[in-house]
Structure 1
Amino acid sequence: MSFITSLFPVSIVGAGPGDPELLTLKAARRIAAADIIFYDALANPCLLNMASAGCKKVEVGKRGGQDSTSQMRIHEHLIRSAQQGLKVVRLKGGDPFLFGRGGEECLALRAAHIDYEIIPGISSGMAAAAYAGVPLTHRHRSQSVIFLTGHEARGSHPPDWSRYARAADTLVIYMGIERISDICQGLIAGGLAAETPCLAVQWATITQKQVQAPLQQFSVAIQAAELGSPAILIIGAVVGLADICAWFPGEPTLSSQRLQQP
């Protein structure tokens, strides 16, 4: 089998959800060939072991409430390194184009007349569901899925969660833990049944700590289990299949009933 060597100075690479074995072969080859890697906080650090001994590794991750590299600064790093003739890898958790700001980085590179390639990664939203045994679509339970973010851009208005209550059969929400109470209240106000099954997954595909509860109890269940970021929220009838289809031997799912026990 022959492989095509990258002809692009910059590779924007999806690192996947956390389990290093879910990295694509193309992504692994780009990491191994890189002169410099700019990596996110949510990219599994063990992936950097695939790089050559002479590769420079620079952390540019963002975590809520913590000091981090600005997006503009990341653009400058990518452009300057490419202009120096280096093979650049921008390693991003999940998939670069799903709440990963990959589009912003492409626009910055294009404006600087620098060629790039996009290497998709498995998104944490899809992986969290798969490892929990939740099919995001099901012929009899879900014919549509929406991927949402619970964290709005600075200066913009918070999402109107009531408008998403009936927008799709299944909702997959990134970065929603801090807004979980508003999310649940908004969805119920918009007409989503209070009994709708919900699942929260922290550190998908790694330790995979989970909490399952109906929508009306979801916020309380998450707080009681002390789940924090990074986490994925899955809301819809398909969550009811988790108890049947679960297979990953991570931390067991905590149900709202178990959390209420003394």
Structure 2
Amino acid sequence: MSDDVTPVEEDTVAQGGHAPEESLFEAPPLAEQERMCEAILFASAEPVSVRELNDRMPHGADAAEALVHLRKRYEGRGVHVVKVGDAWAMRTAPDLGFLMQKETVETRKLSRAAIETLAIIAYHQPVTRAEIEEIRGVSVSRGTVDQLLEMEWIRFGRRKMTPGRPVTFVVTPVFLDHFGLASARDLPGLKELRAAGLLENRPPPGTIPLGVKSDEEEDEVLDLSDGQPELFED
């Protein structure tokens, strides 16, 4: 092994490190020292200094020199041996960083207002904002509708041929797919909702459950394609 101080050794000594001491034991071959440095850097969550490498490696090993050769061997590879402050680490090649990106799904809870609005649209589509507000008894905020549009659970339907020609809202295939429905006709009726404990056995006097115009029509819901052509335009 050469007695000349390598660039890594010079840098290490200048920063308070130390060159490996002479040992009575024969040092491992340089290729084996490279493998040792490689294993330590690969398994370390934090960068490792030359001093720490020397402390872990057998007596007589020269981590500084091994790093010089190891660094060259990783040039052009998907992983590089890089210097981080006074220590060394293995890092992904900068041009391959995009491969490490991971998309995550953010879970968002719907507010009570959004759930009620979505239910009204699903059972009464195509329905206007004014009709939604009339059924709910309160105004519908822009944020509630925007959230449902952003989730792609509702979309704009045809304009109603009434004064002002208001737009209508309908549910989307994304909504149907999320809830495992083939069409809006598969939405649960009163019997299913009562069986699931979501409705009382008898509705309060003077009220009509969503999607049901009379007792005879309790299981009837509107399909995406349903509508009154004479009242709407594309």
TM range (shorter): under 0.3
Structure with bigger RCO (C-alpha 8 Å, 6+ apart)? 1
The two structures have a TM-score, normalised by structure 1, of 0.21
The two structures have a TM-score, normalised by structure 2, of 0.23
